[in-house]
């Protein structure tokens, strides 16, 4: 039943959205903030008292939060070496009224609203409307609580408090960000993008959901695509999340037998083992190792094609082990949302940001006429 509902939702969206979007991208603002993040999308931060630490950046949370020393339940779910934060007036941290809500997709919290200074990747910021967490409770099982987090969720109805404070302080001119992976780290650019990195213009991705409300939900950022393995259809109308915390590709568990069937008909089963969800194969040569293709649906009347085809050739898709064999960077896992419902969601990570620049952008025009864009452009070879 759930599948049918999702399927008819997609059909409805595809057929109702006949109004063409204006997808001309203005020249990017020069008022940009660039920072560097590691492979798990963490940046080096400096906080009063705590000193240097790594801070998790999330594209899918609206809150930027810090954890008080006497937080209830935080120790239970936090990593063992997590350090709390003391909000001190002398160090320009001001505490206001109490508040409550979800801090990310995994935990809800109670605490208070704070204004404070922080330093990220040696750039100083003033954060207004941070969340000072004093009590948490889990929304999903088996998740680790990060003591400090920075949320960059962005839709026309809802902007993360960090982006909002940068915009209000005129540190950025536009509600937008772009990101790509360069050699050994992510580059996240707030307020726009770097045009000299693009080999082609942006392609506007077709979004799954059209009704967006506060609070932000991850479904707001799903885009539609078809997936292929070795040029054979694996999934049509799949919902894809571009997630920089992922390395390769995470597919729903049910895809593993479909992949096995495709490889079997192409007589390309792994050399020494069966293809299983836990062990997606070992190939002795790249000539026989699988490739992967994602065909993103576009919402772009000017585009030369209806689709943006991104190809992950065998060399890109497969990781080499110490014995010189190859294994696809594919894992299988069902994704659960806040209501513990399974989404038929594909997550694609670093593998895509190594060849494409992702750009998320809210076009000005007030709340009622604002439009959201999620776009990809092929990157020049750096």
Cβ proximity to ligand NAG: between 34 and 309 the closer is 34
Among residues 10 and 157, whose Cβ is nearest to ligand NAG? 157
As measured in angstroms, the least distance from the Cβ of 52 to ligand NAG is 7
Least distance CB 42 / ligand NAG (angstroms) = 7
d(CA 121, CA 34): 9
Instruction: Using the minimum distance from each CB to ligand NAG, give the nearer residue, 260 or 363.
Output: 363
User: In the complex with ligand NAG, which residue's Cβ is closer, 142 or 274?
Assistant: 142
Q: How far is CA 264 from CA 122, 269, 275, in A?
A: 52, 6, 10
CB of 332 to ligand NAG, least distance (A): 14
The arrangement of strands across the sheet holding 203-204 comes to 33-37, 185-190, 176-182, 356-363, 371-378, 203-204
Coil, strand or helix: which one is 229?
strand
Q: What are phi and psi of 218, to 5 degrees?
A: -60, -30
CB of 192 to ligand NAG, least distance (A): 6
Q: How far is the CB of 336 from ligand NAG (least distance, A)?
A: 7
Q: Which is nearer to ligand NAG, 88 or 195 (CB)?
A: 195
CA distance linking residue 374 with residue 358, whole number of Å: 7
Question: Cβ closer to ligand NAG: 7 or 342?
Answer: 342
| Contacts with ligand NAG, residue ranges (CB under 6 A) | 26, 28-29, 34, 36-38, 43-44, 141-142, 173-174, 185, 192, 194, 196-197, 364, 382
Closest distance of CB 337 from ligand NAG, Å: 13
Cα separation of 13 and 257, whole Å?
29
Q: What are phi and psi of 5, to 5 degrees?
A: -60, -45
Q: What is the C-alpha to C-alpha distance for residues 39 and 181, in angstroms, rounded to an integer?
A: 9
User: For the CA atoms of 274, 280, 283, 287, what is the dihedral angle to 10 degrees?
Assistant: 120
Q: What is the distance between the alpha carbons of residues 55 and 52, in angstroms, rounded to a whole number?
A: 10
């Amino acid at each position: 039943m759930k599948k049918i509902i999702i399927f008819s939702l997609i059909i409805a969206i595809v057929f109702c959205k006949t109004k063409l979007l204006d997808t001309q991208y203005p020249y990017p603002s020069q008022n940009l903030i660039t920072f560097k993040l590691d492979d798990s999308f963490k940046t080096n931060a400096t906080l009063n008292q705590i000193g240097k630490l790594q801070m998790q950046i999330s594209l899918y949370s609206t809150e930027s939060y810090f954890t008080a020393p006497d937080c209830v339940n935080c120790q239970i779910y936090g990593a063992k070496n997590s350090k709390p934060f003391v909000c001190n007036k002398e160090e320009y941290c001001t505490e206001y009224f109490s508040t409550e809500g979800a801090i990310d997709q995994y935990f809800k919290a109670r605490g208070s609203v704070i204004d404070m200074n922080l330093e990220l990747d040696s750039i100083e910021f003033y954060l207004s409307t941070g969340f000072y967490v004093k009590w948490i409770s889990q929304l999903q099982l088996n998740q680790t609580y990060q003591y400090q987090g920075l949320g960059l969720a962005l839709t026309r109805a809802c902007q993360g408090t960090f982006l909002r404070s940068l915009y209000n302080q005129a540190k950025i001119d536009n509600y937008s960000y772009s990101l790509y992976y360069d050699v050994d780290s992510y580059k996240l650019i707030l307020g726009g993008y770097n045009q000299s990195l693009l080999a082609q213009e942006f392609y506007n991705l077709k979004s799954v959901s059209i009704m967006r409300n506060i609070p932000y939900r991850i479904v707001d950022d799903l885009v539609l695509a078809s997936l292929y393995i070795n040029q054979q259809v694996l999934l049509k109308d799949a919902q894809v999340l571009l997630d920089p915390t992922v390395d390769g590709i995470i597919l729903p568990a049910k895809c593993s037998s479909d992949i096995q069937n495709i490889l079997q008909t192409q007589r390309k089963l792994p050399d020494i083992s069966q293809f299983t969800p836990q062990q997606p194969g070992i190939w002795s040569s790249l000539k026989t190792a699988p490739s992967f293709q994602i065909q993103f649906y576009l919402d772009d009347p000017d585009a030369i094609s209806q689709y943006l085809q991104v190809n992950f050739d065998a060399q890109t898709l497969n990781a080499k082990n110490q014995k010189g064999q190859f294994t696809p960077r594919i894992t299988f896992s069902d994704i659960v949302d806040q209501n513990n419902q399974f989404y038929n969601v594909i997550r694609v990570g670093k593998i895509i940001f190594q060849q494409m620049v992702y750009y998320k952008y809210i076009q000005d025009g007030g709340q009622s006429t604002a439009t959201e864009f999620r776009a990809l452009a092929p990157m020049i070879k750096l």
